[in-house]
Amino acid sequence: MSAQTIKGLTYPYPEPPGKGEWIEMARGVYWLQMALPMALDHINLYAIEDDDGWWVVDTGMKWGDTQERWKLLIEGPMAGKPLKGVVCTHMHPDHIGQAGWLCREYNAALYMSFGEYFTARALTQEDHAGADWRVIEHFTSAGVPFEQVQQMGRKFRGFGAIVEPMPGSYTRLTDGDSLAIGGRQWRVITGSGHSPEHVCLYSDEDKLILSGDQIIPRITSNVSVMPQEPEGNPLKRWLESLAYFIEQTHPDTLVMPAHNTPFYGIHTRLKALIDHHRGHLAAIEDACREPKSAVELFPVLFAREIGKDQLAIALGESIAHLHYLYAEGRLERQRDEQGVLRYRSVDPDHCPYAPADLTDEDVPMEV
């Protein structure tokens, strides 16, 4: 089922704000957009008015006219009150790219979770010319030819080039914390799987959530095993997080995501995301009646052919599903003579997951 046709989702604001503009989503909560240089060509950011200043949630990438757009807002409709706080939901470059500039330029404090802040610091300072043996093994054991791995050298670098230098200090956010902004209590709810410790802000009283990449209406967030943690099981954490958000939110919540458009139908979407991945797990179990590598499972997981630019994230997502099934005892694996890990189903005729059809949603998106 395509995300675009999921019943139960409604979009109260189908048109996004223009350059230097915003849309008020609820009292004192404003939606704005910045451009991105990728297939997913935008990020939604949010400004929250406080009694004595402004807070912003996510910042955009160090690219294009992002700073110009911020200046138009800060010197325009936000003028008269200082920027007090910058909340970054997680460590990906489109979310933290301008955090350092905003915090330095306007003397604002940075708010992030521990896992996201220090992962961001590590990946923005990393600038290796190549990769160590474990990173190379991550790709070759998944079935990527060694010659192709050598050509992917730039993929092993950190992303400091598209992120302003990170602030040297931050205020830590943890699950259950509360921020008092603009007459509301915003409760911190954290998830994992897309990133280490993703922060969302939830208003219980007004049923509002600033969801970052944790809940997006029309695409699925990338859930990948990364070379930095080659034996990770992020899909397990992701599925647990989706169930946790169902428990922690009201079904009538207005979701303000980092991509696509704000919507109602949070529980419908969360359940659809769970079903989406369970369908992939079922498809992999069936495909692995004969041993398969992560690369060989691309046609099972993705509706379109994977290009070179999408190889790393597609591979990460394929491995994430394999690791989940392997940890559950649904798959066994062996390394062949070429060093490639191949996975075989243990009991494919008694799979506990329901199958699902591939859709346009099954294209890896770097969000």
Would you say residue 106 has pLDDT above 50? yes
Burial 245-271 (b: 16+ CB within 10 A, else e): beebbeeebbbbbbbbbbbbbbebbbb
Q: Say what percent of the chain tops pLDDT 70.
A: 92
CB-CB contact of 121 with 88 (8 Å): no
Domain that includes residue 6, residue range: 1-367
Q: Within 13 Å, how many C-alpha atoms sit on residue 332's CB side? A: 5
Reported as a pLDDT band with limits 50, 70 and 90, residue 308 is: confident
Structure pTM? Answer: 0.94
Closest listed residue to residue 312, CA positions, set 193, 147, 135: 135
φ/ψ of 347, rounded to 5, equals -150, 65
Instruction: Report the number of distinct structural domains present in the chain.
Output: 1
Closest listed residue to residue 198, CA positions, set 328, 122, 95: 95
- Using the 8-state DSSP alphabet, how is residue 292 labeled? B
| Residue showing tokens 């099934």 | 325
pLDDT per residue over 207-233, tens digit each? 999 999 999 999 999 999 998 899 999
Q: What is the CATH number of the domain that holds 329?
A: 3.60.15.10
pLDDT per residue over 44-70, tens digit each? 999 999 999 999 999 999 999 999 999
